[in-house]
Amino acid sequence: MKFEQIIQEIKAEKYYPVYFLMGEEPYFIDEIEKLLESKILTPDEKEFNQSILYGKDVLVEHIIAEVRSYPMMSQYRVVIVREAQNIKDWELMESYFAHPMESTILIICHKYKSLDKRKTISKVLEKSKDCVLFTSEKIQSYKINEWISSYCRQNKIKIQDRAVDFLAEYIGAEPSKLSNEIEKLTLALGPEVEITHEHIMENVGIHKDFNIFELIKALSLKNMSRAVKITDYFVQNQKSHNFHALNPQLYTFFGRLMEYKYHHLTGKNEGEILSIMKLRFPASTDVTAGARNYTLPSLRRIMIEISDADLRSKGIGAGQMESGEVLRDLVYKILSY
């Protein structure tokens, strides 16, 4: 079952006896658990009918005893198992998953990894009409803008397209951080104010003149003095501008330039290419400028340089170079092509 469908059904008070929530992305697991916990029982009912267990401290036999208990003065009993990835013998619950108690809602939070789908336990969960088996996957980088826009729509938050781009580029595909920043912006600005990229610069900590967007713009224009000035600022402020956060964004940008050039070789015009690549302002301006200033062979070399810089920043073939010097060296090499 998809995340959106699970959320809609919980809001409609349609519950299942078992929710097995697993996967690499903890955000979606946490959101489902929080909504279930807030919706099913009232605060008074929770005192006698809610149990929270932790995988590192509990045996499966204990979980079975909890879920087979009946509710007291409530329609449901809720059992939440956190850190469930620490439990190894889920096979002991196969018979329960096949025929769970309707008066108990069991919520299993199995974060950072998934069950082996070849095992019987996975097949039992998949086949049971009383169980929700949810796999929480990381958001792909190319889908993060869409996710931010969707999140804001669902929460009735107004946000400009350029602000979406800034959040996606600056924070990346981390829904927990993104939702926290959007929530802080909403609290600071008020629910009726439309979020702009200026608001993000002021509140999220993006320096107006020295940020990754300004560096990319300078590199796209081959503005050496500007690019060097921004790079020097990054080197002096590595705590807030870590190379490992900056380098993937450089790789993404120059990868976009290569894609643009390849589309151009097929005879497509600028408008068609931007539409295919789903690029909006200001990213589209940087890409079209960069495409004019870098050749396809030079872009291939730059992509290799960025990959090599990533290895050097991790101590592979770096010699005595620190990560700040690796960044400075990379920027000079990019501008030389």
Q: Is the same domain home to 220 and 262?
A: yes
Asked if 210 and 203 touch (Cβ cutoff 8 Å), the reply is: no
Which CATH number belongs to the domain containing residue 235 in this structure?
1.20.272.10
Among residues 186, 204, 222, the one where a domain terminates is 204
Looking up tokens 């974060």 gives 111
Q: Is the same domain home to 328 and 251?
A: yes
Q: Is the same domain home to 121 and 151?
A: no
Alpha-carbon distance of 82 to 79, in angstroms, equals: 10
Q: Is the same domain home to 235 and 270?
A: yes
Compute the average pLDDT of residues 8-12: 95
Instruction: Quote the pTM value.
Output: 0.69
Inter-CA distances, 30 with 81, 112, 125, Å? 12, 12, 20
Statement: residue 319 has pLDDT above 70: no
Note the pLDDT of residue 71.
Answer: 95
Which CATH number belongs to the domain containing residue 174 in this structure?
1.10.8.60
Q: Is the same domain home to 189 and 267?
A: no
Among residues 150, 185, 204, the one where a domain terminates is 204
Domain that holds residue 191: 141-204
Q: Is the same domain home to 240 and 184?
A: no
Alpha-carbon distance of 104 to 113, in angstroms, equals: 25
Q: Is the same domain home to 149 and 86?
A: no
> pLDDT by residue (tens digit) across 31-44?
999 999 999 999 99
Among residues 177, 204, 231, the one where a domain terminates is 204
Name the DSSP class of 138: P
Total domains in the fold of the chain? 3
